[in-house]
């Protein structure tokens, strides 16, 4: 499929353009394989399907977007999911990032605060056969403590600061990937690594633009 091939080429080109920020020459082969496998056009409305493989965000309704493919791939790469990983995603949205993670991890727990989006994502993921995804409608700021700790946590909307409940629910040795900042003052994609002693190491990766995280913070 030419559109999919073009999307993957665009992702690799973006990696080259942002190399000085992300400090890597390429993304993991497993991540690119997941990007190749998951049909992005299944996660957008009929009116957006012609743009599904463009390397840019697209509206999905309710003021939300499906993220740029490069950003989805980069955040997945930063999280380092494995076949043994249990992951938490805050912000199911369209379900696309969820599906990418489900291709790589043992279990994915995903929370969406907008009920109509949660319902549509659940239908899509079920129809596409993802059995290792667990969905909840609610406020992701507080995480999903019943299933913690998580080996990695991805947040797909920007918070003014990293939510403390998510840090608490990150397993020792785990990685938290989150956009941080206010839209009017700039946002940065941040990686937090929790050591086996519980200490946090923080890395600011690159400037980004995300919709704001909503909820009880």
Tell me the C-alpha distance between 49 and 43, whole Å. Answer: 9
| Backbone angle region of 129, left / alpha / beta, with phi > 0 → left and psi within -120 to 50 → alpha | left
Q: What residue has token string 């696309």?
A: 96
Q: Is 67 a catalytic residue?
A: yes
Instruction: Tell me which residue has tokens 């659940």.
Output: 122
Cα–Cα dist 28/159, whole Å: 27
For residue 214, give every residue at least 6 positions away whose Cβ sits within 8 Å of its Cβ, in sequence order, or none. 113, 157
Catalytic option among 67, 85, 94, 110 = 67
195 C-beta neighbours (distance < 10 Å), count: 11
Asked if the bond preceding 191 is cis, omega within 30° of 0, the reply is no
Residue whose C-alpha is closest to residue 144's, from 109, 118, 188: 109
Rounded to whole angstroms, how far apart are CA atoms 127 and 196?
39
Structure token digits, residue 41: 């056009």
Active site residues: 67
């Amino acid at each position: 499929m030419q559109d999919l091939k073009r999307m993957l080429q665009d992702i690799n080109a973006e990696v080259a353009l942002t190399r000085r920020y992300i400090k890597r020459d390429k993304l993991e082969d497993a991540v690119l394989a997941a990007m190749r496998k998951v049909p992005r056009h299944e996660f957008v409305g009929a009116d957006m399907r012609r743009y599904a493989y463009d390397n840019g965000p697209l509206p999905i309704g309710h003021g939300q977007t499906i993220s740029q493919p490069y950003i989805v791939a980069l955040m997945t790469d930063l999280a380092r999911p494995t076949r043994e990983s249990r992951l938490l995603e805050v912000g199911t949205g369209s379900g696309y990032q969820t599906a990418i993670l489900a291709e790589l991890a043992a279990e994915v727990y995903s929370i969406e605060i907008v009920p109509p989006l949660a319902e549509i994502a659940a239908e899509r993921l079920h129809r596409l056969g993802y059995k290792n995804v667990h969905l909840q409608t609610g406020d992701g700021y507080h995480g999903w403590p019943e299933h913690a700790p998580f080996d990695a946590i991805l947040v797909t909307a920007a918070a003014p600061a990293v939510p403390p409940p998510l840090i608490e629910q990150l397993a020792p040795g785990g990685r938290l990937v989150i956009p941080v900042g206010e839209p009017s003052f700039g946002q940065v994609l941040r990686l937090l690594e929790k050591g086996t002693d519980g200490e946090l190491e923080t890395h600011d990766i690159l400037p980004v633009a995300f919709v704001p995280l909503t909820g009880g913070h």
